[in-house]
Amino acid sequence: MKTDIKKYDFKPGLPQEFEIVDLNTLYQEFKDTLTTTHRTGFYHIIWFQQGSPTHLVDFNPVKIKPNTILFLNKDTVQRFDYKIKFGGKAILFTDSFFCKTETDTKFLRTNILFNDLFSVSQIQVQKQSKIFMDLLQQMTDELQNVKDNFQADILQNLLHNFLFHSERERRKQNFTEIKKGADLDYVMLFKDLLEKDYKNQKQVNYYAKQIIITEKRLNQATTKVLGKSPKELIDDRVLLEAKRILAHTTENVKEIAYHLGYEEPTNFIKYFKKHSTVTPTEFREKNTLA
């Protein structure tokens, strides 16, 4: 029986596709949902103000300290800790809410908080917490007002400032800076294309053509920025999705193969074993979380 990783869309019926929620309240109401592996079609800024839980993000256990803010891109697979108590706030928002202009869209697509190429973004905010608390309170207050023609812009501006201050702190806290330039631009374009097309397009040539550069130039860019070839990055993305489905659902190997664009399940099994040293079934037996 097919059981996909559950994906949740933004809550319907709110005045804006923007919400601030209390983690304690959310946990009490939706504990089973939060502590089961899931993904959402919207962005998360999770401020763990109390407690030291471990947040699972795509097989990476992220150990949280009190006063940590975690930034999760849309469609990230995550699971909240079900053993350790924690408290705080979460800011939730969608592309539709934030991306009013092309500049806004580019900001979200390239911002280091949601697009750190090396790790899950988090910051510690003890010394700067007043700035963040003030902005959070202003957003909370604005949400209490009756919706009018100004509310969405005011909230977006406040959120923008929250992200600017967060990025400033992120750059101070053990952040690996990538030099801006053509290489990084090509990598970001490749990353966006790969996210959309990896199930059906697994050839480097396809992505190079879409970006309008040669395969050699794309290889130079990804190798310089990430230390991996485009083919390795394609393989990483396909394998990540395969592992997500194997660990978090009961979908059979044949269904997973079709889902990832393989017409022959045997080809998928060979591919998986080549890159993971175990078969899909062996991986599932060791990592089943469904």
Residue intervals in the chain for CATH 2.60.120.280:
6-172
| pLDDT score, position 177 | 64
Between 65 and 59, whose confidence is greater?
A: 65
Residues 254, 278: contact at Cβ < 8 Å?
Answer: no
Residue 35 has φ and ψ, to the nearest 5°, of -90, 5
Among the four given CATH numbers 1.10.10.60, 1.10.240.10, 3.40.640.10, 3.30.565.10, the one describing domain 182-287: 1.10.10.60
Closest CA to 278 of 243, 227, 235, 237: 243
Residue 139 has pLDDT above 70, yes or no: yes
Question: What integer is the mean pLDDT of 8-28?
Answer: 91
Tokens of 266: 């045997």
Tally Cβ neighbours within 10 Å of residue 137.
Answer: 12
1: confidence class by pLDDT, cuts 50, 70, 90:
very low
Q: What is the pTM of this model?
A: 0.76
> Phi/psi class of residue 57: alpha, beta or left (left: φ > 0; alpha: ψ in -120 to 50)?
beta
What is d(CA 185, CA 172) in angstroms, rounded to the nearest whole number? 23
pLDDT-wise least confident of 22-26, 141-145, 163-167, 170-174:
170-174
Q: Which residues of 22-38 are buried (b: 16+ CB within 10 A; e: fewer)?
A: ebeebbeeeeeebebbb
| pLDDT score, position 290 | 44
What is d(CA 110, CA 91) in angstroms, rounded to the nearest whole number? 19
Question: What integer is the mean pLDDT of 16-32?
Answer: 92
What is d(CA 237, CA 202) in angstroms, rounded to the nearest whole number? 10
Torsional sign, CA 281, 282, 286, 287 = negative
Residue intervals in the chain for CATH 1.10.10.60:
182-287
176: confidence class by pLDDT, cuts 50, 70, 90:
low
Tens of pLDDT, residues 80-132? 998 999 999 999 999 999 998 889 988 888 788 987 766 788 999 987 789 99
Share above pLDDT 70 across residues of the chain, in percent, rounded to a whole number: 96
CATH architecture of the domain formed by 6-172: Sandwich (2.60)
Tokens of 232: 């390795």
Q: Which helix (H) or strand (E) holds 144?
A: helix 129-144
To the nearest whole number, what is the mean pLDDT of the chain?
89
Sheet holding 18-22, edge to edge: 18-22, 87-93, 43-50, 68-72, 122-124
The residue type of 256 is I
Q: Which residues neighbour 15 within 8 Å (Cβ) at sequence distance 6 or greater? A: 143, 147, 151
Tens of pLDDT, residues 214-262? 999 999 999 988 888 999 999 999 998 898 888 878 889 999 999 999 9
Residue 2 has pLDDT above 60, yes or no: no
> What separation in angstroms does the CA of 214 have from each of 92, 119, 205, 207, 222?
39, 28, 8, 9, 13
Tally Cβ neighbours within 10 Å of residue 54.
Answer: 13
